[in-house]
Amino acid sequence: MLFLFIFLFLIHQIKSCPLTDEYLSRCHCGILTNGESYIKCEENSLDHIPKFKRSYSYDELILINNNIENLTSSSFDNIKTIKRINLYGNNLSYIDENLLRLLGNYLEELILTGNNHINSLEFLTRYPLKKLRLIKLNQFNLTNINLEKIFHNMTNLEIIYLNSCQVKHIPNINHIKQLNLESNFLSQTIFLSTTYYYLNLANNYITSIILQNNKNLISLNISKNNLNEFYSLTISNKNLTILDLSYNYLTSIDWTILNDNLIYLNLSSNFFTNIIFTSFPKSLLSLDLNSNQLKTIEKNYFFQQLIYLNLDLNPFDYIFTQNPIINNQIKFQDNDFIFNNNNNNNNIDIDTKTNDFNDKYLYLLLIGSCIGALLTFILLITCCYLCYQIYQYKHINQQPIYEKCSQHNHYPIYHSHPTCSHHQVIYNSENISNSTDSSHMDTSSSTTTNNPKHIYQTIDSQEYRSLQRQHQHLFELWNESVKQKR
Q: Please write down the HEC assignment for all residues of the chain.
A: CHHHHHHHHHHHHHHCCCECHHHCCCEEEEECCCCCEEEEECCCCCCCCCCECCCCCCCEEECCCCCCCEECCCCCHHHCCCCEEEEEEEEECEECCCCCCCCCCCCCEEEEEECCCCCCCHHHHCCCCCCCCEEEEECCCCCCCCHHHHHCCCCCCCEEEEECCCCCCCCCCCCCCEEECCCCCCEEEEEECCCCCEEECCCCEEEEEEECCCCCCCEEECCCCCCCEEEECCCCCCCCCEEECCCCCCCCCCHHHCCCCCCEEECCCCCCCCCCHHHCCCCCCEEECCCCCCCCCCCCCEECCCCEEECCCCCCCCCCCCCCEECCCCCCCCCCCEEEEECCCCEEEEECCCCHHHHHHHHHHHHHHHHHHHHHHHHHHHHHHHHHHHHHHHHHHCCCHHHHHHHHCCCCCCCCCCCCHHHHHHHHHHHHCCCCCCHHHHHHHHHHCCCCCCHHHHHHCCCHHHCCHHHHHHHHHHHHHHHHHC
* Core vs surface per residue 53-79: b (16+ CB within 10 A) or e: eeeeebbbbebeebebeebeeebbeeb
Q: What CA–CA distance (Å, rounded) separates 171 from 113?
A: 21
* Boundaries of domain holding 464: 401-485
Q: pLDDT tens digit string along 63-116?
A: 999 999 999 999 998 888 899 999 999 999 999 999 999 999 999 999 999 999
274 part of a folded domain? no
Query: Cβ contacts of residue 484 below 8 Å, gap of 6+?
Result: 440
Q: pLDDT tens digit string along 433-464?
A: 444 444 444 444 444 444 444 544 545 444 54
Query: Cβ contacts of residue 213 below 8 Å, gap of 6+?
Result: 193, 234, 236
Q: pLDDT tens digit string along 269-308?
A: 999 998 888 788 888 999 999 999 998 876 656 566 889 9
Report pLDDT for 4: 43
Q: pLDDT tens digit string along 218-241?
A: 999 999 999 999 888 766 688 999
Q: Cβ distance 135 to 160 under 8 Å?
A: yes
Report pLDDT for 46: 93
**Bridge pairing between strands 84-92 and 60-62:** parallel
Report pLDDT for 52: 84
Q: Cβ distance 36 to 60 under 8 Å?
A: yes
Q: Which residue has the higher pLDDT, 479 or 421?
A: 479
Instruction: Tell me the pTM.
Output: 0.66
Q: What CA–CA distance (Å, rounded) separates 181 from 207?
A: 16
Percent of the chain past pLDDT 70, that is, above it, reads 68
Q: Which residue has the higher pLDDT, 363 or 63?
A: 63
List the Cα angle 185/202/195 in 5-degree steps: 90
223 part of a folded domain? no
Domain boundary among 185, 207, 237: 185
Query: Among the ranges 153-167, 336-350, 426-440, which has the highest mean pLDDT value?
Result: 153-167
Q: Cβ distance 277 to 255 under 8 Å?
A: no
Q: Which residue has the higher pLDDT, 203 or 256?
A: 203
The mean pLDDT value for 402-415 works out to 48
Report pLDDT for 472: 65
Report pLDDT for 394: 80
- With a cut of 80, say whether residue 261 has pLDDT above it: yes
Report pLDDT for 338: 35
Q: Cβ distance 332 to 355 under 8 Å?
A: no
Lowest-confidence segment of 122-131, 170-179, 390-399, 455-464 by average pLDDT: 455-464
The mean pLDDT value for 363-367 works out to 86
Q: What CA–CA distance (Å, rounded) separates 109 from 89?
A: 16
Q: What CA–CA distance (Å, rounded) separates 264 from 333?
A: 18
Give 481's pLDDT tier (boundaries 50, 70, 90). Answer: confident
- With a cut of 50, say whether residue 334 has pLDDT above it: no
Report pLDDT for 327: 46
Report pLDDT for 279: 81
**Bridge pairing between strands 178-180 and 134-138:** unpaired
461 part of a folded domain? yes
Q: pLDDT tens digit string along 303-333?
A: 668 899 899 999 987 665 544 444 444 544 4
How many CB atoms are closer than 10 A to CB 155? 12
- With a cut of 70, say whether residue 187 has pLDDT above it: yes
- With a cut of 60, say whether residue 50 has pLDDT above it: yes
Report pLDDT for 357: 52
Report pLDDT for 346: 38
Mean pLDDT of the chain: 78
Q: What is the CATH number of the domain that holds 112?
A: 3.80.10.10
Report pLDDT for 90: 95
122 part of a folded domain? yes
Contacts 24+ apart (CB under 8 A), 195-203: 201/170, 201/225, 202/244
Q: What CA–CA distance (Å, rounded) separates 132 from 110?
A: 8
Report pLDDT for 329: 46
- With a cut of 50, say whether residue 11 has pLDDT above it: no
Report pLDDT for 340: 35
* Core vs surface per residue 342-379: b (16+ CB within 10 A) or e: eeeeebbebeeeeeeeeeeeeeeeeeeeeeeeeeeeee
Tell me the residue length of the chain.
486
161 part of a folded domain? yes
Q: How many domains does the chain have?
A: 2
Domain boundary among 161, 185, 209: 185
148 part of a folded domain? yes
104 part of a folded domain? yes
Report pLDDT for 146: 94
459 part of a folded domain? yes
- With a cut of 80, say whether residue 256 has pLDDT above it: no
The mean pLDDT value for 162-174 works out to 94
Q: Cβ distance 102 to 128 under 8 Å?
A: no
For 268, how many CA atoms within 13 A lie in the half-sphere containing its CB?
A: 15
How large is the angle between the packed helices 421-432 and 472-485, nearest 10 degrees?
A: 40
Domain boundary among 185, 202, 231: 185
Report pLDDT for 218: 95
- With a cut of 90, say whether residue 39 has pLDDT above it: yes
